[in-house]
Structure 1
Amino acid sequence: MNFWKDGLRLLCVRLDNLGDVLMTTPAFRALKTTWPAAHLTLLTSSAGAAIAKFIPEIDQVISFDVPWVAGQQQQPDQVIDLGNRLRSHQFDAAIVFTVQSQNPLPAAMLCYLAGIPRVLGYCRENPYQLMTDWVPDPEILVATRHEVIRQLELVREIGCHTTNRSLSLTRSIADQQRVRQQLTTAGLDLQRPWLVLHPGVSEEKRRYPAEQFVQALLPLMQDSGYQVVLTGSKSEQSLTSQIQHQLTGRAVDLAGQLSLGELAALLAEAPLLIANNTGPVHMAAALGTPVVVLYAKTNPQHTPWQVPSRVLYFDVPMALRSKNKLLQQFPEPAEPTASLETIVRAVHDLMAQWQPIA
């Protein structure tokens, strides 16, 4: 008799960032579509947990920043406590979702110590007892599939499918109303062309230079009348303030002023987002908002999913390149490259059919 069936208590392990969680939502939907009575608990980072409450396929969230993901620090006893906590949930099975460059074995060991009897995941080498349902990872040196496809094909191994492959993200009417009020109060005219710029990113190597954003935005504002709204976290306020100053104070700076739900509402409202390869790009994709993404040459599988977009590539500075040889592989030629001209052209192309919302 097949173990994998409806009604299971499943632990979905996705330990990295907000955007990674969003790119896994079609796989979550495949699980729920195939098995409506399954209970999905998401084990994720604090950043992933923040977006999880806007993902309807997830029933429960456990937040923990594991020490084998960059930038996180935990004591051994805290990891042991997490294993005991997971054991108390008595999960029937776990699915370990990882990007091509990640090692799934620490997460698989956590599931093993938690007494979870069945574990599905990709792995390059034979994980033996750590992963009962091992799928040999076909992406050895470089990612060859989009992240969404990678995770959909993983759950297909246990018979789960969906015809709806869009990213999943909900937003509230209350957040939408608050955002519209903020924009109106700031003097933004929603009947004129406008766009959102999100210049920050969690990793410095993926950050496009602020001054080059400014050089592209100035002609868009001066020659084509674009209005610009800046977004970011509280820690990114100095960056957005610098950009606003260089734009002669004519941009609306909302960095540090929006909840995640309000950011989703803003992106749903916006005609266009310009950003680095970062979480809000995937939020915009989930909401159907066109994107111009300044894409550092790392993780080629994370481009905007199923939304009008322009991907403009730039090199990671040598000093910031990952020591992970897998992340140093990038398909070439990576074109078009990012520049003032390509950014301006991308904005005009994507905004050509824009009509103001009544």
Structure 2
Amino acid sequence: MAQPAAATRAAAARLAALGFDGGGPRAILHPGAVASLATFAEVVRRLTRDHGWRILVTGGAGEGARVTPLAALPGAVAAGETNLPEFAALIVRAPVLVTMNTGPAHLAAALGTPVVDLYVLTNLQHAPWRGRGRGRFRDVPCHVCLQSVCSEGHHRCLAGIGAGAVGVAAREVPAGGARGVDEAGDLLAPAR
């Protein structure tokens, strides 16, 4: 997927201004609007504290207040507002995107950026197909409910995903430990 030149330049300038353009282990973290921030915060802490990663935190329109606490953690920085082409240009430069089943997971798959997807099992057809990465999920009796909002009100499919499993996947995926996605959905593997 080709990136507009203006978006590529804007993304490069933004990463340089944030001090995020150098080498070393790093990731984009996009928690989405539904997930609890507790797991994502613990992923940031573990990757930054234990492994020296830098984390670029992104959010959609209107999610600035939601992602600010994550970006305030040591080793993390907020990306700020971007338009879609610039957001895509940021994702294409990331060694890995950590997110849940949101639009950015599909965008990363289309761009060839490995993704660690905290996957809500509402609809198995919504996994990012043909991408590189690893899915983390917790099987629950209410899976494949086909609901956009948890009708049970507990979000156990997300709450049961440990930050340790997400961190391991994030570290393995850029190093080639990713599994491809096919129609059978082999991106999905239970969280341990």
1:261-272 mapped onto 2 (5 Å cutoff): 261-272=85-96
Q: Which residue of 2 aligns with 1:243?
A: 70
Q: Which one of 39, 43, 49 corresponds to residue 212 of structure 1?
A: 39
1:295 and 1:312 in contact (8 A); partners too: yes
Q: Which residue of 1 aligns with 2:78?
A: 253
TM-score, scaled relative to structure 2: 0.77
Q: After superposition, what is the alpha-carbon deviation per residue over 1:230-284, rounded to whole angstroms, capped at 9, x for unaligned?
A: 1112310011102123x14x312024x1010000111111110001101011111
Structure 1 residues 258 and 310 mapped into 2: Cα distance closer, same or farther (>3 Å)? Answer: same
How big is the shift at 1:221?
0.7
Q: Which residue of 2 aligns with 1:185?
A: 17
1:1-358 mapped onto 2 (5 Å cutoff): 169-201=1-33, 207-245=34-72, 247-248=73-74, 250-255=75-80, 257-314=81-138, 338-353=161-176
2:122 and 2:147 in contact (8 A); partners too: no
The one-letter amino acid of 2:92's match is A
Structure 1 residues 323 and 225 mapped into 2: Cα distance closer, same or farther (>3 Å)? Answer: closer
How big is the shift at 1:307?
1.9
How big is the shift at 1:180?
0.9
The one-letter amino acid of 1:200's match is G
Q: After superposition, what is the alpha-carbon deviation per residue over 1:37-70, rounded to whole angstroms, capped at 9, x for unaligned?
A: xxxxxxxxxxxxxxxxxxxxxxxxxxxxxxxxxx
For structure 2, the 5+ residue unaligned runs are 152-156, 178-192
1:178 and 1:262 in contact (8 A); partners too: yes
The one-letter amino acid of 1:209's match is S
The one-letter amino acid of 1:186's match is L
Q: Which residue of 1 aligns with 2:180?
A: none
Query: Alignment partner of 1:252: what SS?
Result: strand
CA RMSD of aligned residues (A): 2.7
How big is the shift at 1:228?
0.5
Structure 1 residues 251 and 220 mapped into 2: Cα distance closer, same or farther (>3 Å)? Answer: same
| Alignment partners' CA distance in 2, 1:315 and 1:170 | 37
**Deviation beyond 3 Å, 4+ runs, structure 1:** 321-324
How big is the shift at 1:343?
0.5
| Alignment partners' CA distance in 2, 1:285 and 1:323 | 23
How big is the shift at 1:297?
1.7
Aligned residues: 167
Query: Alignment partner of 1:258: what SS?
Result: coil
Overall identity of the aligned pairs, in %: 33
Query: Alignment partner of 2:123: what SS?
Result: coil
How big is the shift at 1:208?
2.7
How big is the shift at 1:353?
4.4
Which of 1 and 2 has higher RCO (CA within 8 Å, sep 6+)? 2
TM-score, scaled relative to structure 1: 0.43
Q: After superposition, what is the alpha-carbon deviation per residue over 1:278-321, rounded to whole angstroms, capped at 9, x for unaligned?
A: 101111111000000011120111112212211111468x8xx7
For structure 1, the 5+ residue unaligned runs are 1-168, 202-206, 329-333
The structure having more radius of gyration, on CA atoms, is 1
How big is the shift at 1:191?
1.2
